[in-house]
Structure 1
Amino acid sequence: MTTPTVRPGIAERLSQMIRIPTVSAELDERGSAPFEEFVTLIAELYPLTHEKLTLERHTDFGLLFHWQGTGAAPDRPVVLMAHYDVVPVDESDAWTHPPFAGVIADGSVYGRGALDDKGPLIVVLEAVENLLADGFVPPQDVYLSFGGNEETYGRAAEEIARVLRGRGIVPWLVLDEGGAVVDAPLPFVPGRAAMIGVGEKGVMT
C-alpha cells in the first residue's frame, strides 16, 4: 500500500489566498483585479488541477472545473462548491491580526475568509491536487463550482447551475459550505461537533 500524497504548506497557501482582498461588496472601489489575482494564484498553487481538469469561466466570477471520471458511475456526478469572495471588513472590530494579513500563529491561519469561505475552498483544491498526484481517477464526473460574488447575491453560481442543467447534468451529490467544528454548538450537544446544514436559507416577508 502506498502512502497518499499530502503536500506540506497548506497554511501558507491559505495565507496567500487571504491576503488577496476579494471583497465583492466593494467591487466598485477595488475593481476586479483582486478577483483575477485570486484566479491566477490558484492556477499557480494547484498546477495538476489546472492541467488535468477542464476550467470554464461563467460570468466574470464563476469558475467551473470538470474532472472526468472513469465512467464506472455515470449517473452519480458530484458538485463540490465554494466561494472566494469575502464580506467587507469593519474597522471597528477588534481583530487579533490584520484581516488581510493572513497571519499564521498558534496553529491557525487568521484573516477575513479563513472560514467563510476560502478555508473550505482550499480543502477541495488540496484534496483534488493530492488525489491527482496519486494518479486517482474518480468513478464519476466531479465538478468544482467556485463563485466570486456569493456574498452579494451574485449570479455566478446561478449561471453555473443553469449551464449544468442545460447539459442534462443532474448532480447525485452537491456539497457546499456548512457550519464550523465548534464547542457545544447547541445546549443539548456537549463537546465539539460539526454542524451540517441540509437546507438553504431563504427570505420571507
Structure 2
Amino acid sequence: MKRVAAVLAGAAFFALAGCSGMVLGKAEPVAQTGSALPSGSAVPENPSEQQVPGEGVPKVEHPIDTTRSSRLPCTALTARQITNLLGDAAPATPGLDRPGGPACYWGGDAAHGNASVDVKFPDIDKLGLTSVYQAAGGAYGFFRPLDPVNGYPIAAYGDRDTRSIGECHVALGVSDQQTVDISARQSQKNIGKKDPCDSARGIAEMVLSNIREG
C-alpha cells in the first residue's frame, strides 16, 4: 500500500530547528543494512492471507502492542521532546481520522522555520514492514533500510528521494503486522547539515521509548 500519499495529505515531515544535538554533523548517505524485495513487487490483492514477515523483511522479535498509543497518538512524543526537536514549544495537532491511520502533527509554521514532525499509526493493512518492502522499486522509488532502533527494524521510504530538501519518512516495525511511521521536515537553516533520515530515525527512537513505557 502506498503510505506516502496518506502522509502527504497531513503535510507532515520533520525538522530539528535549533540547538538540538541531532542537527550536528554533515549529511551522510543513509545506511543500508537490509535488503529489499525485487523491484516492482506488489502487495497481494488479499493481504490478510499473506505470511509476515515477507521474504527479506526483518522479523520483529519483541512485538509491542500499540493499541493504546494509536488511540492517543499525541503521546508518542512529549512536549519537552518537541521543544528540543523544533527549537520551541509547538502545539500537538491530533488526527484520529487521518487517511491511513491515527496521527499527530507538530510544527510546520514560520515560527519553527517550517520544521515539522508527524507520527502515524498506520491501519491500512496488517503487513507491517512487509508492505513497505514490497513497494520498494514500485510505489516507493526511494527505499533504504536503516540501522535498527534498539533492535526494532526501520526503513526510510517515499515515492521519491526528498532528503535534499530536508524531508524523510521512516517506518518503524513494532510487530510483524504493525509499524509506526514518522515523517520529518528540517528547518531551512538545517538542511544539508545532517541526513534527515538519520534525524527521523532519532525521533523514532524517542517514539519507541515512549510507546513502550506507555
The normalised TM-score by structure 1 is 0.27
TM-score calculated relative to the size of structure 2: 0.27
